[in-house]
């Protein structure tokens, strides 16, 4: 058997190697829609090319006929695999029932059978003879009816697949549209050579240049792979993922012109921008505080609109080709409001736990120190009375009894304050709110404290107008007044003056207890209402305090939905003022 070689044969060998290599690559892309069909399309092209190599290289007619028959396994299958690939690549024309594909194989199978049995009917080639050409000895075929059946059928399927790809290309982002157009060019170019061969306009009579032009197709496909990562992910896969993501995605080109945005982003934006619209200003306006040049780091933006207040996390990344050139930008944003609220709740919980721990420590400090000292006094004086009663003078006995009484009263007040404080901090505590005459409440409290005031020659004056009403809890209001007036008596000098007054203030009643006592240092005022900051001083007559009175006042006012403040000047006196609601609104 004689063989002949020329540049066209070597071009076909190169073409076959490329097609086979791309077949192996695309066949392994299992997760990419249509990759297997495109791999089989490339395999069919490789079979067609390989058969053409042997058919062109042989100088014997029977050998040429044999490889022409083999070529029909590829030539009759190319259009089918192209159409199957196009429908799998598309989201609109996808065939859900794969069994329908069997129908498309009826004509190709018949054509292949007819080619292998051509000697019986001559419906594929009616006549074949050898002829000399610039490429050596070639076979000149006179085609029969079934050859043209295959040509027409292949052109129909190829055209359908190409139309589907073109229509689908316009629904995808720029980079994917380029992928589709490269595939369309790669497939259409060889068919131009085939048309020239069929109509007898081939540069060399009898030579089918469509297989040679497949070399150009292969180069285009390689270019598409290197330039645009052809088959890295199919547009339909991108569309499905893109549309169903629960994050907002905005894709722009390098100049921030809109390329694509998903459903989440459309719902978020008040006005949906048009493709090509510059979004640089829009993005900055919608997400205050973000920096466009801060890439691959999640930024946080607070957004307030008619729908409410939201926090968004935004990440900006660049889209680059394999050369590292920037093709555009992708903005991915998601609602982090729940996360921010959770973190804030966690922070508040941590703060509350810290405060509760401080309160616990203060509570135990009171129990261990403030209760132990007066109990020590009671036990010490009572022990001395028991052991030395007959040896002590009447004056010493009276003094010991007075000390026991003072210590007992202090223990009682401390326990009373602790019980009140504990009650206020119970979750089940609910103030018994009702309309109260503030004058009567103040009058009742003053009458209870007149004896204590008289011991220091301190005057108590109720300046509240009768009929002044508040909406509050009677026992809590009296406890407030009792603590504040007792404090005022404690820190007033003999002959001092304490005034209890009130005035209306925008739906509230402002109640003040003012004295002209020793006053408070400015740096100590912030410590007055804090349980974690022990602050207690002796009164003008060396009176001891529990350190809980003002803390109780703050707790009470908070429970009654009011406010409390203090104004004081050392040496001139102090004014404690608290606000309580006038009515139930």
Write out pLDDT tens, residues 399-445. Answer: 888 888 877 876 776 677 666 666 666 555 677 888 989 999 888 88
Backbone angles phi and psi of 310, in degrees to 5: -140, 155
Q: Which residues of 13-27 are buried (b: 16+ CB within 10 A; e: fewer)?
A: bebbebbbebbebbe
Third-level CATH fold of 7-236: Rhopdopsin 7-helix transmembrane proteins (1.20.1070)
Nearest Cα to 374, choosing from 412, 419, 420, 418?
412
Tell me, what DSSP letter sits at residue 272? P
C-alpha span between 510 and 515 (Å, rounded)? 16
Asked whether 72 and 66 are in contact (CB, 8 A), the reply is no
pLDDT of residue 114: 94
pLDDT of residue 497: 92
Write out pLDDT tens, residues 561-570. Answer: 888 999 998 8
Average pLDDT over residues 309-334: 82
Strand order in the sheet with 508-515: 459-462, 497-505, 508-515, 573-581, 563-569
C-alpha span between 329 and 201 (Å, rounded)? 49
CA distances to 154, 160, 161, 307, 494 from 84, rounded to whole Å, are: 13, 10, 8, 47, 106
**Least trusted range by pLDDT, from 231-245, 302-316, 323-337:** 231-245
pLDDT of residue 85: 81
pLDDT of residue 365: 60
Q: Which residues of 562-578 are buried (b: 16+ CB within 10 A; e: fewer)?
A: bebebebeeeebbbbbb
What are the structural domain ranges in the chain?
7-236, 245-335, 339-367, 371-428, 430-585
- What is the three-class DSSP state of 48? helix
Sort strands 258-261 and 248-253 into parallel, antiparallel or unpaired.
Answer: antiparallel
Write out pLDDT tens, residues 447-474. Answer: 878 877 888 898 999 999 888 888 888 8
Q: Which residues contact 298 (CB under 8 A, 6 or more apart)?
A: 313, 314, 315
C-alpha span between 286 and 417 (Å, rounded)? 54
CA distances to 33, 240, 383 from 227, rounded to whole Å, are: 20, 24, 100
Write out pLDDT tens, residues 125-174. Answer: 898 888 887 778 888 888 889 888 988 898 888 888 878 877 766 665 55
C-alpha span between 487 and 550 (Å, rounded)? 9
C-alpha span between 457 and 385 (Å, rounded)? 33
Alpha helices, DSSP H only, in 99-138? Answer: 106-116, 118-121
Write out pLDDT tens, residues 163-219. Answer: 887 776 666 555 555 666 676 676 666 566 556 655 655 555 555 556 556 556 656
Residue 108's pLDDT band, with cuts at 50, 70 and 90, is: very high
- CATH of region 245-335, choose from 3.30.420.10, 3.30.450.20, 3.40.50.620, 3.40.50.280: 3.30.450.20
Write out pLDDT tens, residues 511-559. Answer: 999 999 888 888 888 888 776 666 667 777 777 666 667 877 888 888 8
Domain 430-585 has CATH 3.30.110.30: no
Q: Is the pLDDT of residue 279 over 60?
A: yes
Average pLDDT value for the chain: 78
Average pLDDT over residues 271-277: 75
C-alpha span between 408 and 6 (Å, rounded)? 122
Q: Is the pLDDT of residue 395 over 70?
A: yes
Q: Is the pLDDT of residue 356 over 90?
A: no
C-alpha span between 214 and 144 (Å, rounded)? 25
Burial of 387: CB neighbours in 10 Å, binned 0-12, 13-18, 19+? exposed
C-alpha span between 23 and 396 (Å, rounded)? 114
Q: Is the pLDDT of residue 272 over 70?
A: yes
Rounded to the nearest angstrom, the gap between the alpha carbon of residue 545 and the centroid of all alpha carbons in its chain is 54
Nearest Cα to 68, choosing from 155, 143, 179?
143
Asked whether 581 and 470 are in contact (CB, 8 A), the reply is yes
Sort strands 469-472 and 308-320 into parallel, antiparallel or unpaired.
Answer: unpaired
Q: Which residues of 201-224 are buried (b: 16+ CB within 10 A; e: fewer)?
A: ebeeebbbbbbbbbbebbebbeeb
Nearest Cα to 453, choosing from 413, 507, 500, 405?
500
Tell me, what DSSP letter sits at residue 368? I
Alpha helices, DSSP H only, in 199-321? Answer: 210-228, 235-244, 263-268, 280-286
Percent of the chain with pLDDT over 90: 9
Average pLDDT over residues 273-297: 81
SS (H, E, C) 445-505: HHHHHHHHHHHCCCEEEECCCCCCEEEECHHHHHHHHHHHHHHHHHCCCCCCEEEEEEEEE
pLDDT of residue 196: 61
Burial of 298: CB neighbours in 10 Å, binned 0-12, 13-18, 19+? middle
Residue 247 CA neighbour count, 13 Å, CB half: 15
């Amino acid at each position: 058997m004689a063989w002949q070689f020329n540049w066209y044969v070597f071009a076909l060998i190169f073409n076959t190697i490329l097609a086979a290599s791309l077949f192996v690559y695309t066949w392994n892309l299992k997760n990419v829609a249509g990759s297997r069909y495109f791999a089989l399309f490339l395999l069919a092209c490789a079979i067609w090319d390989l058969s053409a190599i042997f058919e062109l290289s042989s100088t014997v007619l029977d050998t040429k006929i044999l490889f022409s028959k083999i070529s029909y396994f590829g030539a009759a299958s190319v259009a089918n695999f192209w159409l199957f690939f196009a429908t799998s690549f598309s989201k609109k024309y996808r065939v859900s029932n794969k069994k329908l594909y069997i129908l498309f194989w009826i004509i190709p199978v018949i054509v292949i059978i007819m080619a292998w049995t051509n000697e019986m009917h001559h419906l594929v080639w009616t006549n074949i003879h050898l002829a000399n050409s610039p490429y050596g000895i070639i076979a000149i075929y006179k085609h029969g009816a079934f050859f043209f059946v295959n040509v027409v059928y292949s052109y129909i399927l190829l055209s359908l697949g190409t139309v589907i790809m073109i229509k689908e290309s316009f629904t995808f982002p720029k980079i994917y549209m380029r992928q589709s157009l490269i595939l369309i060019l790669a497939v259409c170019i060889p068919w131009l050579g085939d048309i020239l061969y069929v109509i007898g306009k081939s540069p060399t009579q009898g030579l089918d240049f469509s297989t040679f032009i497949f070399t150009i197709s292969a180069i285009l496909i390689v270019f598409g792979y290197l330039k645009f990562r052809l088959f890295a992910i199919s547009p339909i896969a991108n569309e499905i993922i893109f549309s169903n993501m629960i994050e907002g995605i905005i894709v722009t080109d390098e100049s921030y012109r809109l390329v694509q945005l998903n459903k989440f982003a459309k719902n978020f934006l008040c006005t949906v921008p048009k493709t090509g619209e510059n979004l640089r200003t829009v993005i900055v306006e919608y997400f205050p505080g973000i920096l466009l040049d801060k890439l691959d780091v999640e930024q946080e933006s607070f957004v307030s609109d008619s729908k409410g207040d939201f926090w968004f996390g935004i990440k900006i990344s660049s889209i680059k080709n394999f050369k590292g050139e920037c093709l555009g930008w992708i903005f991915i944003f998601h609602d982090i409001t729940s996360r921010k609220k959770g973190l804030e709740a966690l922070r508040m919980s941590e703060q509350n736990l810290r405060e509760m721990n401080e309160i616990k420590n203060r509570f135990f400090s009171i129990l261990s120190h403030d209760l132990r000292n007066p109990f020590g006094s009671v036990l010490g004086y009572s022990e001395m009375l028991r052991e030395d009663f007959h040896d002590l003078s009447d004056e010493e006995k009276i003094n010991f009894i007075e000390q026991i009484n003072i210590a007992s009263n202090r223990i009682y007040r401390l326990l009373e304050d602790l019980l009140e404080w504990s009650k206020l901090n119970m979750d089940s505590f609910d103030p018994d709110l009702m309309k109260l005459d503030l004058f009567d409440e103040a009058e009742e409290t003053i009458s209870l404290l007149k004896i204590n005031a008289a011991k220091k020659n301190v005057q108590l004056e109720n300046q509240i107008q009768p009929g002044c009403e508040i909406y509050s809890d009677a026992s809590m209001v009296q406890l407030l007044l009792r603590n504040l007036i007792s404090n005022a008596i404690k820190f007033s000098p003999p002959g001092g003056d304490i005034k209890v007054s009130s005035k209306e203030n925008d739906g509230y009643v402002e109640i003040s207890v003012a004295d002209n006592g020793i006053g408070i240092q400015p740096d100590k005022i912030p410590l007055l209402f804090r349980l974690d900051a022990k602050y207690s001083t002796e009164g003008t007559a060396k009176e001891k305090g529990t350190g809980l009175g003002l803390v109780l006042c703050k707790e009470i006012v908070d429970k009654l939905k009011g406010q409390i403040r203090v104004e004081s000047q050392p040496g001139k006196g102090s004014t404690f003022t608290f606000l309580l609601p006038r009515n139930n609104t």
